[in-house]
Amino acid sequence: GLEYLHYGCNTRIVHFDIKPQNVLLDANLCPKVSDFGLAKLCEKKGSLMSLLDTRGTIGYIAPEVFSRMYGRVSHKSDVYSYG
């Protein structure tokens, strides 16, 4: 699911809230990513984006998203949340 969001779409989608509760299993036990309420579109050319506010769930937020002093974020914050 993350690979598709980051590389399979025409526009990269950064989820910002990857956690066990947002990964659902279908009838064939194939995982599906859910809850795109905090997601943001990011052009593939520019891998970094700026945020005006913190997004995500405490315990799963990447340090660069949680602390404004780190500056800009990328799709790598989803990888941090995934573990």
**11-69: pLDDT as tens digits:** 788 888 889 999 999 999 988 899 988 888 877 666 666 666 667 788 888 887 777 65
Whichever domain contains 21, its CATH number is 1.10.510.10
Could you give the residue numbers annotated as active site?
A: 17
Could you give the CA distance from residue 15 to residue 54 in angstroms, rounded to a whole number? 13
CA distance 1 to 3: 5
Altogether, the residues listed in the chain come to a count of 83
Q: Give which of 29, 48, 46, 34 is closest to 5, Cα–Cα.
A: 34
pLDDT value at residue 69: 56
Domain count, the chain: 1
**Domain of 19, in residue numbers:** 2-82
Confidence of residue 70 (pLDDT cuts 50, 70, 90): low
